Amino acid sequence: MEKVLITGGGGFLGSRLAQSIKAKHPDARITLLDMAFPPGLDPQFTCMAGDVSSPEVLAKALGTDTDSVFHLAAVVSGGAEADFDLGYRVNLDGTRNLLEACRKLSKPAKMVYASSVAAFGGKLPDVLDDSTTPTPQTSYGTQKVIGEYLVADWTRKGMLDGRSLRLPTIVVRPGKPNLAASSFASGIIREPLNGVVSECPVPGDTGVWILSPKRVVEAFMHAYGLEGSAWPSSRVVNLPGITLSVREMIDAMGRVAGKASVDRVKFVDDARIQGIVKTWPVRFRTERALAMGFKADGNFDDVVRDYLATEGITAK
């Protein structure tokens, strides 16, 4: 892993992934590509601001000698649903343009592509497994599935060594809420732990398939480290997670941080968010991912504790 490009590198997952790569590969030269960057990013990384769907920007970010690409950049679910053209430009055209730019590298790059369980929707079995056919019911899910097929085809043609990860809802995300329909899942934990009231747009019995930021960064690293022979039948894997209802998440927060945090969650129905979230699956059997060495979180109490420790927060 000599020269690395992380698209979406200005986001919290991209920046954490960069730190993880640097810790394991100190000599790696890492470029972060995003529209903007928060202050205080480590100066050992090259930060490049630009449109991740622009062929010119991508060519400059890759150069000719990039060895590894982690493609995290995307217009998130709610944003892609609200702005159809923007979602397709970034999530589909951007992925295709990135793959085209990779064709010009001096040798095929290894790519890890961040997909999503939004690949599934509609009438589904109670528990999905590795044989369940993707049937996305949102523009975001559709764009992600097409990206998976493109990564697989570029790999089949020997132009790339790609592997795609279908991510569960990532909780707890730090920072501010974003346009993802799943943003509430972090908000109902993050805001109360910071002493702020949070509005939950879905009922308490709504189920969510969850993976922590710590585990998803580990998954990116693990996917990268696997040999190509570990992906013989498919270049896509559903990552393992844990299924929880919103109420179970809030109860776990209460056990860790006390009743005051629970009291800061207010249920305020939002039909738009509910319409998107209800299309997403919440229970998986991930036998293939577990056999490949990917791991889920043990329980949500520890996810809450890890968020508090990582962010240096004392529960209020």
pLDDT for residue 106: 94
258 to 174, 193, 195, 261: CA distances (angstroms): 20, 10, 12, 6
pLDDT for residue 76: 87
Is 113 a known active-site residue? Answer: no
Percent of the chain with pLDDT over 70: 99
**Rounded average pLDDT over 255-261:** 95
- For the whole model, what pTM was predicted? 0.93
Query: How many other CB atoms sit within 10 Å of the CB of residue 287?
Result: 12
- What CATH class does 3-167+212-238 carry? alpha beta
Distance CA 207, CA 244 (A): 6
pLDDT tier at 277, thresholds 50, 70, 90: confident
**Rounded average pLDDT over 153-179:** 92
Query: Quick check: 59 and 33 in contact, CB under 8 A?
Result: no
Q: What is the CA radius of gyration of the chain?
A: 19
**Rounded average pLDDT over 133-148:** 95
pLDDT for residue 78: 83
Average pLDDT of the chain to the nearest whole number: 94
Catalytic residue among 88, 140, 224, 307: 140
pLDDT for residue 178: 74
Residue 31 has phi, psi (to 5 degrees) of: -105, 130
Q: Is the pLDDT of residue 84 over 80?
A: yes
Percent of the chain with pLDDT over 90: 85
pLDDT for residue 275: 84
Write down the domain spans for the chain: 3-167+212-238
220 to 44, 231, 265: CA distances (angstroms): 21, 15, 32
126 to 11, 18, 284, 290: CA distances (angstroms): 33, 37, 9, 20
pLDDT for residue 1: 66
* Run of H or E including 111: strand 110-116
User: In this predicted model, which residue has the larger pLDDT, 1 or 224?
Assistant: 224
pLDDT tens track for 27-79: 999 999 999 998 877 788 999 999 999 999 999 999 999 999 999 999 988 88
